[in-house]
Every structure is written in structure tokens, then in C-alpha cells.
Homo-oligomer: A and B are copies of this chain.
Amino acid sequence: MRPQIVNHPENATEHALEGLALTHPHLIAHDPVTGLVTRARPARDKVGLVSGGGSGHEPLHAGFVGTGMLDVAVPGALYASPTALQVQAGTVAADSGRGVVQIVKNYTGDVLNFRIAGELAEDEAVLTEVVLVDDDLATDRGDADGPGRRGTAAVLAVEKICGAASEAGAGLAEVAALGRRVAGRARTIGLALRAGTHPGAAEPAFVLPDGVIELGVGIHGERGTGRVPLADADGLIAHLVDPLAEALALTRGSSVIAVVNGLGGTSPLELSIAARATHHRLKDLGVTVARSLAGTYVTSLDMHGVSVTLLPADDDLLPLWDAPVRTPALTW
């Protein structure tokens, strides 16, 4: 039995959105009818940014609405894409006259519904561009006909960098191109010591035997790519950093932005230890960490685990990364 702090499984995500908005009324507003989360004070005369997808990944995406990041988040039900009509409403709401970039994690339902929503929004004279985020290295099968890689925590980097560019006045095509570049180069891989538990469920989505961890987990309770023995923090993080460094062809002298992300039930103590291990492992490989984050950003309910996202730190990305941001879940 794994009890949780919820009222009813049916209203968990709705209540969480309401709670987030009640906590941050100066930053965001939540419309209980449409489900949309918007900035408390909508931006004017800038390229709009909308993202969304299934809930269960809190604080994503609603927690990243605010100055320097998203204009609108479109939350679906738990692990389920929002409808095309919801996304259309969110896309139109994000428009202040200069078009809207839709940031979409690569899941079939999301991709389909954002595409339809984009067409519907264009019918309302809102120009749209799509940035597809498909960073999960665990699902990289090199198979052009398959569904491709899943979208996971790199969406935070895409939203941050596109948000900064849009805030600085970049045009629709420029913001979209930047987002595609970030999405194209960021890779993520995660591991779990315990799967997340659906509100109302008695047990986690999958149960691990003692002494093993699940490598390459997704953020929807899917099993990963394999199981490996539990190791110390340095050993666990090596399972993530090493394949990322290989996939990104990092070499001595490379420089990266690193995001160490808790998957929902990971304690701050553990996250800081994981951050240390990530820094040390990259240093051992000769890679410079230009910027890093460690926190709980893109979750799978209360999964106990961690993901690492690496993004090569091109010189032009750093000022955008460093630009001010004020959202419920990310502020500097």
C-alpha cells in the first residue's frame, strides 16, 4: 500500500493546478473551465510560447508559465494528451500578434493534437511553428520508421531558451529554429529506484526486486530498457552520463549545460548528491559544466529516481539560459 496526499484520483491533476495557481497568483492563472494555465499578466507584442501534454509530470508544464518561459500551458488528464480543441484554445491564448511556437514532447497523441490545433489556430490567423522535443536517449533505436525518441526533461531547456529569445524580441522563425537546435542536441536518460504510483493505485506502476534499479525509464510508468544492480550514487550517475557523453560525442574541452532532475519522489539530499556525481563524472571525462540545475522539474508522479539532461553549451545559448525567468518552478 502506498498512500498519497490526494482527494480523489479523478480530481488530482485539477486540484494540483488550482493549488499551484493559488500559491502563485502574481505569476499564473488557472481557468478551471478550459483547464488552461496562463500568465497572470499576458505578455504583449512577442512570439507566444505554448506547451502542454499529459499531467503527472508536475511542475511541468504549468510550473514554467511566466516571464522568460511559457505564455500558456495546456494540461491534459493524467498521462493523457490534451485534446486538439484545448491545444487550439491555448495556442490562440498565447498569441499576441507575432505568432506562436508550440513546444511538443514526442508522444503520438501530443504530436497529433498539437498539429490539428496548429491548423485550427492558423484558421484563426494565428501563425504557428512546432518544436518537437525528442531527447530520451533510452528510446534512440536509430529506426527512422519508428515513433522516435520520447520527449522528457530537455523540454525544460527548450522552454527556457525559446522563452528568453522570445522575451528579447526574436521573431517566430528565429525562436522556432533555436528551439529545434536545442531539442536536436539535448539528450536525457533516467533511472528509477521505485516507479511512480497512480493516485488511487495500491502499488507502483512496476515493482523492482531488491538490489536492482530500472535504467532508461520514461515518465509515464513505462519500464526502462533494462535492469542493473543498485550501485552507489557515483555508479548510478555513470550509467546516465557515460551514454549521454557518447551520444553527444563530447570530448575533452566540450562544455555543457546539465540538468539533474528528480523524478518526483527523490529527496533534496539525494538530488544534491546526484548533482555532485554528475559534475565529477563530467570532469573526469574532461567536460566543463558551464551551467547546471538540480531540482524536481519533470516528474513521473512520485517516482524515486533521477534523470540527467546534457546540452552542449554553445556560446550563444548561455546568455539565453542566464536571462531572467520568473515562473512557479524556475526563477532567477
Contact = CB atoms under 8 A, between A and B. Distances in A.
Interface stretch (A99-107, A152-160, A180-188, A263-271): A263-271
Interface in A2-18: 3-8, 12-13, 15-18
Interface string A283-326: 00000010011101001011010100000000000000000001
A267 B16 CA distance: 11
Contacts of A211: 1, 3
A256 interface: no
Main secondary structure of the interface of A (DSSP, over half): mixed
A213 interface: yes
B268 A5 contact: no
Contacts of A19: 271-277, 279, 294
Interface stretch (A39-47, A130-138, A229-237): A229-237
A17 B272 CA distance: 7
A233 B293 CA distance: 31
A224 to B, nearest CB: 15
A56 interface: yes
A292 B1 CA distance: 31
A34 interface: no
Contacts of A199: 269
A276 B16 contact: yes
A167 interface: no
A233 B15 contact: yes
Interface in A50-79: 55-56, 58-59, 63
A210 interface: yes
B12 A273 contact: yes
A20 interface: yes
A44 to B, nearest CB: 23
A211 to B, nearest CB: 7
A326 B325 CA distance: 13
B58 A272 contact: yes
Query: Which 6 A-B pairs have CB atoms at the shortest separation, nearest pair first?
Result: A19-B276, A19-B272, A16-B272, A267-B302, A19-B275, A5-B270
